[in-house]
């Protein structure tokens, strides 16, 4: 009985989320509709958050209580950066899908092939980033409910299953978007390079 309710809830949740994305999705995101919607991501600070050496140094320099407080702040910041990167991946994927559909039967200027590469990079990133976000949420809940347990190391969230690296996957999106923007022209490339 309970299993049926859980299954029904999950199906309902999936349908609501799917319809939500369909309603609020940007159908024809042109190159002019990309840069204003992108969120700032400081890659230097992000790499600092998931750096193993930095965490080990903090753990050595701080008391366990201070390290726990610092890790909680760093965890919240990493959650925010992951959310921003997923948002940017959504925006860039919509742009890539528009370029791919617009050039479905002709690829004389390279937009179709670069759009397809951007779509693949964004999908891979979004799935991996979702796993990272889930891990961060579970750690956050665990840190709040069990304050006596040691604080987790955020550097372990950078890689998921050894095949997905958060920073390298986002860098792959940036590179694919820059290639696509070059196909659209120098103005588009300059605007996107400034935003990313």
Give residue for tokens 């397809």.
Answer: 116
| 147 has a pLDDT exceeding 70 | yes
Rounded-to-integer distance, Cα 34 and Cα 178, Å: 12
- Mean pLDDT computed over every residue of the chain: 83
CA-based torsion, 96, 98, 99, 104: positive or negative: positive
Residue 56 CB coordination number (10 Å): 12
* pLDDT value of residue 105: 63
Mean pLDDT, to the nearest integer, of 126-151? 88
Mean pLDDT, to the nearest integer, of 31-52? 85
- pLDDT range class, residue 120, cuts 50, 70, 90: very high
- pLDDT range class, residue 146, cuts 50, 70, 90: confident
* pLDDT value of residue 76: 93
Rounded-to-integer distance, Cα 131 and Cα 159, Å: 10
Does this model's pTM top 0.85? My answer is no
């Amino acid at each position: 009985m309970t299993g049926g309710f859980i299954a029904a809830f999950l199906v309902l949740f999936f349908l609501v989320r799917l319809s939500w994305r369909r309603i609020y999705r940007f159908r024809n995101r042109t190159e002019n509709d990309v840069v204003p919607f992108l969120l700032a991501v400081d890659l230097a600070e992000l790499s600092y958050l998931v750096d193993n050496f930095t965490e080990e140094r903090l753990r050595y320099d701080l008391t366990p209580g201070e390290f726990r407080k610092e890790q909680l702040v760093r965890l919240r910041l990493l959650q925010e950066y992951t959310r921003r990167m997923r948002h940017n991946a959504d925006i860039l994927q919509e742009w890539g899908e528009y370029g791919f559909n617009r050039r479905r039967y002709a690829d004389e200027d390279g937009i179709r092939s670069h759009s397809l590469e951007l779509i693949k990079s964004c999908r891979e990133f979004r799935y991996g980033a979702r796993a990272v976000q889930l891990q961060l949420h579970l750690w956050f809940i665990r840190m709040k409910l069990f304050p006596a347990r040691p604080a987790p190391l955020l550097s372990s969230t950078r890689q998921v299953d050894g095949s997905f690296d958060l920073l390298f996957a986002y860098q792959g999106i940036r590179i694919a978007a820059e290639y696509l923007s070059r196909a659209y022209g120098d103005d588009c490339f300059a605007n996107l390079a400034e935003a990313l």
